[in-house]
Chain A
């Protein structure tokens, strides 16, 4: 914390508190970032990370008594415009870009701001955008509309926008939440380059491995208070988890042998051209099979086929020993298959609707009484699942969007478990979920497996499958290339095989 006084501090915040209504979101927190430093801000949801970022960038104002210095200048009341002029940019988790506008306009949008109308020179916008992308060593089609770009490229556009002007510090809020491993590696490289060129980066991420890989120092917040500032060197994931949650979690391999249980799902030579080939796979009752691999390995596509969302070209799917062919996911649901999608925010839940409505959606036909939805049956269903999965909610009538990531994921699970599946497919079930909440979700998954549910766990995070699956399949180029038994293989060996 001695660096706070050093002249090279690009941002120094002291005694920052913030109260919303009666809730204290931040309590006497200090936070400092040196020029060119990669600094991680760690904490669970609700620990005050976002509030701190919003105060540093002028979106919220801190309670009286806070002291904020940006680039050596004492700032009494930062506004978004002032913070920006002093060289502080934010890349929000939702990126806050304009999908219909071109890449160049998105990057150089600042040149279009201001009340006075003037001619907008597309050439000038392109030049500004090109310069910003040049600093990142990336080339993009500047005239393409942003919506035509995949999410990883949009992220780059957001970073390029943050670099326009005399940027000294960039906040990145969960920049890797929707990126694959390869894309994440690319992003981390960009962050390193920025840091080398003197731009400080404050990195907020749920993925602790990433945080420890990139950051020089970690500031940990818990329940609105400062836990401390720690050097990243020598820090371990489990130590960091402990600091963030105040609890310890054991990462122990949970694999068991299910060799004698009856097979729930059997795939023989399943092929869909261009996506996956010759998949042979058996999942037994109570067994959790993990599939990991890089993006484009065909994992998610395989999941979609099993859920009836696309048809295999060749091969056989057997469910409880009988061959099946699904015309749509309706057939799959009826056959006892549930699929928790990787995109919880937009595909898994209807955000503005209530918790109860979301939960009851796939099983509405079971709630009917005389052709209408019976409120009594619905309440019984909703209350039962919320109790069963220990979801922390206010009222079942609250919109799902009010819940934290971990609790939203529990609602998604509850929603699909209500269909009484025999096979549960989980695609990236912990994206955007806190460490503490992850442990809770996997505890539920293990309990479900104990009860005899067959589970297919798809994830691009090798540790997740290593610790939670009975068997791990490595998929690459559309094929299952290797099978690992977590009890006999180390995590390091698995990671080497998958990411190398």
Chain B
């Protein structure tokens, strides 16, 4: 048990902080501790969680990506146009087109980083601007509302009428998110490829010397983020029921903050699926709580910023040091 806590200090802290926050919100507000609120939290966090699953892989491999959220907007447009020209399409086609399109955009980043030896933050700031600029130029900022029904209809997988008459429900994005979380967990935690990604992010020179293929690492990391951003884009449309070119603009920093909060290190080599999930949920719960407490929405960012600073400072002090200091 001590080993488990020591190895997962960040996760342990996040669980503690989240529990304390939940306890406080349960006591301070009436609506927080309810099934309806919890299912809502999952429904609204699903897209960010899918993004986070992709981003954490890139961070583990020692890179960073600023462009993934606007890339998802590009994927949404391309998918919408492609499927409508194909006569409407269906979910299977939607996943294939969005996934491939996302992987292609991820591969653009990987290619620039690997073949031109440019660091990932510079490449993705450039592609962030390029993707978004091209999208706004070609769409002239016009949204698409007349989407195929299969795409924009809410799909409820599970529902339950609570005593108060409100409906608690889980929608398709939650299921898709769960699958993405499971696959990412399998990839980074339990496959040889995932361990190579950790090693490459941890000590690139040592990785090179043991014979890890660098190009493969970049393409796998950014390709996986590409796949995830494609799926996240698809799900965000299902949630919002429209394609708006700047709907995801700015989302990259929210997701990045959550992933870093979850213990991924910007230098590479560190980060877990559990930490990511906890990071995204902690931020979602905070926003949800502030909402329920009636705090002005303008204060959200400030509070979220403070929480990230406090949580990261705490997680850098290991539990053992605290215990030893007291002893």
A103-141 residues at the B interface, CB under 8 angstroms: 105, 109-120, 141
How far is B209's CA from A109's CA once the two chains are assembled, in angstroms?
A: 12
Using CB atoms and an 8 Å cutoff, list the residues of chain B in contact with chain A: 3, 7, 187, 190-196, 198-199, 202-203, 205-207, 209-213, 216, 265, 269-270
Contact with B along A241-279 (1 / 0, CB 8 A): 000000000000000000000000000000000000000
Taking CB atoms, residues of chain A closer than 8 Å to B198 are 98, 100-101
Could you write out 14 A-B pairs with CB less than 8 Å apart? A97-B203, A99-B202, A100-B198, A100-B202, A100-B270, A101-B195, A105-B199, A113-B196, A113-B211, A115-B216, A117-B191, A118-B191, A120-B191, A145-B7
A101 touches B191 (CB 8 A): no
B209 touches A112 (CB 8 A): no
B211 touches A98 (CB 8 A): no
B190 touches A112 (CB 8 A): no
How far is B265's CA from A116's CA once the two chains are assembled, in angstroms?
A: 27
A120 touches B210 (CB 8 A): no
Q: Is A477 an interface residue (CB 8 A)?
A: no
B194 touches A120 (CB 8 A): yes
Using CB atoms and an 8 Å cutoff, list the residues of chain A in contact with chain B: 59, 80-81, 92, 94-101, 105, 109-120, 141, 143-145
B203 touches A112 (CB 8 A): no
A118 touches B203 (CB 8 A): no
A117 touches B192 (CB 8 A): yes
B202 touches A92 (CB 8 A): no
B212 touches A113 (CB 8 A): yes
A80 touches B209 (CB 8 A): yes
A119 touches B190 (CB 8 A): yes
Chain B: minimal CB distance from A99 (Å): 6
- 10 pairs of A and B residues whose beta carbons are closest in the complex: A96-B206, A100-B269, A117-B193, A98-B202, A112-B195, A112-B192, A100-B202, A98-B199, A120-B192, A117-B191
Taking CB atoms, residues of chain B closer than 8 Å to A99 are 202-203, 269
How far is B191's CA from A108's CA once the two chains are assembled, in angstroms?
A: 14
Taking CB atoms, residues of chain A closer than 8 Å to B203 are 96-99
CB within 8 Å for A101 and B192 given contacts A80-B209, A81-B211, A113-B212: no
A120 touches B190 (CB 8 A): yes
A95, A105, A118, A120 — most chain B CB neighbours (10 Å)? A120
Taking CB atoms, residues of chain A closer than 8 Å to B269 are 98-101
Chain A residue nearest in CB terms to B191: A117
A92 touches B190 (CB 8 A): no
Chain A: minimal CB distance from B323 (Å): 16
Taking CB atoms, residues of chain B closer than 8 Å to A98 are 198-199, 202-203, 206-207, 269
B3 touches A143 (CB 8 A): yes
Taking CB atoms, residues of chain A closer than 8 Å to B190 are 119-120
How far is B210's CA from A31's CA once the two chains are assembled, in angstroms?
A: 24
B7 touches A92 (CB 8 A): no
Taking CB atoms, residues of chain B closer than 8 Å to A145 are 7
Taking CB atoms, residues of chain B closer than 8 Å to A101 are 195, 198-199, 202, 269
Taking CB atoms, residues of chain A closer than 8 Å to B210 are 96, 109-110, 113
B206 touches A97 (CB 8 A): yes
Among B192, B205, B265, B270, which residue has its beta carbon within 8 angstroms of that of A113? B192
How far is B15's CA from A190's CA once the two chains are assembled, in angstroms?
A: 44
Chain A: minimal CB distance from B209 (Å): 5
Among B3, B199, B213, B270, which residue has its beta carbon within 8 angstroms of that of A109? B199
Taking CB atoms, residues of chain A closer than 8 Å to B211 are 80-81, 113
CB within 8 Å for A105 and B195 given contacts A99-B269, A113-B210: yes
Taking CB atoms, residues of chain A closer than 8 Å to B213 are 115
B192 touches A114 (CB 8 A): yes
Chain B: minimal CB distance from A110 (Å): 7
How far is B210's CA from A92's CA once the two chains are assembled, in angstroms?
A: 11
Chain A residue nearest in CB terms to B206: A96
A109, A116, A144 — most chain B CB neighbours (10 Å)? A109
B209 touches A92 (CB 8 A): yes
Chain A residue nearest in CB terms to B205: A96
Taking CB atoms, residues of chain A closer than 8 Å to B206 are 95-98
How far is B204's CA from A96's CA once the two chains are assembled, in angstroms?
A: 9
Taking CB atoms, residues of chain B closer than 8 Å to A97 are 203, 206
Chain A: minimal CB distance from B318 (Å): 10
Chain A: minimal CB distance from B200 (Å): 9
Chain B: minimal CB distance from A404 (Å): 20
Taking CB atoms, residues of chain B closer than 8 Å to A114 are 192
Taking CB atoms, residues of chain B closer than 8 Å to A112 are 192, 195-196, 199
Chain A residue nearest in CB terms to B265: A100
With contacts A96-B205, A98-B269, A100-B265 known, what are 10 further pairs, Cβ within 8 A?
A92-B209, A98-B202, A101-B269, A105-B199, A109-B195, A112-B192, A112-B195, A114-B192, A120-B191, A143-B7
Among A96, A105, A118, which residue has its beta carbon within 8 angstroms of that of B209? A96
Chain A residue nearest in CB terms to B216: A115
How far is B269's CA from A119's CA once the two chains are assembled, in angstroms?
A: 19
Chain B residue nearest in CB terms to A84: B211
How far is B64's CA from A5's CA once the two chains are assembled, in angstroms?
A: 54
B187, B203, B265 — most chain A CB neighbours (10 Å)? B203
How far is B210's CA from A454's CA once the two chains are assembled, in angstroms?
A: 48
How far is B198's CA from A357's CA once the two chains are assembled, in angstroms?
A: 35
How far is B6's CA from A145's CA once the two chains are assembled, in angstroms?
A: 10
Taking CB atoms, residues of chain A closer than 8 Å to B193 are 117
Chain B residue nearest in CB terms to A114: B192
A119 touches B191 (CB 8 A): yes
Taking CB atoms, residues of chain B closer than 8 Å to A119 are 190-192
Chain B: minimal CB distance from A481 (Å): 30
Chain A residue nearest in CB terms to B186: A119
Taking CB atoms, residues of chain B closer than 8 Å to A100 are 198, 202, 265, 269-270
Taking CB atoms, residues of chain B closer than 8 Å to A116 are 192
